[in-house]
Amino acid sequence: MQMCSKCGTEQLDGSFFCAECGESLGASPEPKKSTASLHQRVRERLQQAPPEPPSQPLKPNCEIDFVVLRTGRRLMLAMNKELLVGRCDKTQGIYPDIDLEPDGGYDAGISRQHALLTLENGTCVVRDLESTNGTLVNGRPVLPHQAVPVSDGDKLTFGDLTLLVEFGEKP
C-alpha cells in the first residue's frame, strides 16, 4: 500500500492518483499503461477526419440506451438534460448520471467527472471534461470541451471502457 501525501489515505500499490482526493501519487512500480501512452494514442488519432453528424434530429426526452461492452450492463436514460459520465464519489458529492464504477471504472481510468452528453439542436454531443485518460467516439479522440456528435450505433470510449449507444423514442 502507498499513502497519499495530500489526504493521507492508503492507496493500492501501482495507483497513479488518489481515489479520495485525486492527488498524483507518482510513478507506478509496475509497468502499466500510462496516461502518457494514452495521450500519445490520442495525438496519433487527431490526424483522422472528425465523425459525421447524425442524419435525423433527436427530440427532447428521447431515450438513449448505453450498453457497457465489457460487462453487458445496459443503462436506459432520457436525454432531457445533461448526462454526466464518470465515477461516483460520495465524499466529494459527485453523482454522475452514468456511473461507470460498477463496471470497473476506477481500473479503466474513468475520471470522477469524465465527460458530458448534451442535446444541442437535435444532436446528441459528447464533451470530454479534461479527463485524465480521454474520450473517444468510434476510436476518434474528443478534445477537451469540444462538442463531438454522437449517432445511433456509435461506440463511446471513456478511458478503457467502451459503451455502445442506441437511440430510441420515449412513448
CATH number of the structural domain spanning residue 67: 2.60.200.20
Residue 149 belongs to a domain: yes
Nearest residue to 118 (alpha-carbon basis) of 99, 138, 97, 133 = 97
Record the pTM.
0.66
How far apart CA 87 and CA 94 sit, in angstroms, is 8
Nearest residue to 122 (alpha-carbon basis) of 149, 153, 154 = 149
Residue 110 belongs to a domain: yes
How far apart CA 35 and CA 134 sit, in angstroms, is 9
* 135 neighbors 45 (Cβ within 8 angstroms): no
- Helix (H), strand (E) at residue 143: none
Residue 114 belongs to a domain: yes
Distance of CA 19 to the CA centre of its chain: 16
Residue 33 belongs to a domain: no
Nearest residue to 58 (alpha-carbon basis) of 128, 131, 122, 137 = 122
How far apart CA 80 and CA 7 sit, in angstroms, is 37
Is pLDDT of 47 > 60? Answer: no
Grid cell listed for 64 = 438513449
Residue 128 belongs to a domain: yes
Q: What is the pLDDT of residue 60?
A: 67
Find the angle CA(33)-CA(75)-CA(167) to the nearest 5 degrees.
105
Q: Give me the domain span that covers residue 66.
A: 62-168
Grid cell listed for 95 = 453523482
Is pLDDT of 39 > 90? Answer: no
Is pLDDT of 132 > 50? Answer: yes
Provide the domain count of the chain. Answer: 1
How far apart CA 90 and CA 111 sit, in angstroms, is 14
What confidence tier does 29 reach under pLDDT thresholds 50, 70, 90? very low
Residue 147 belongs to a domain: yes
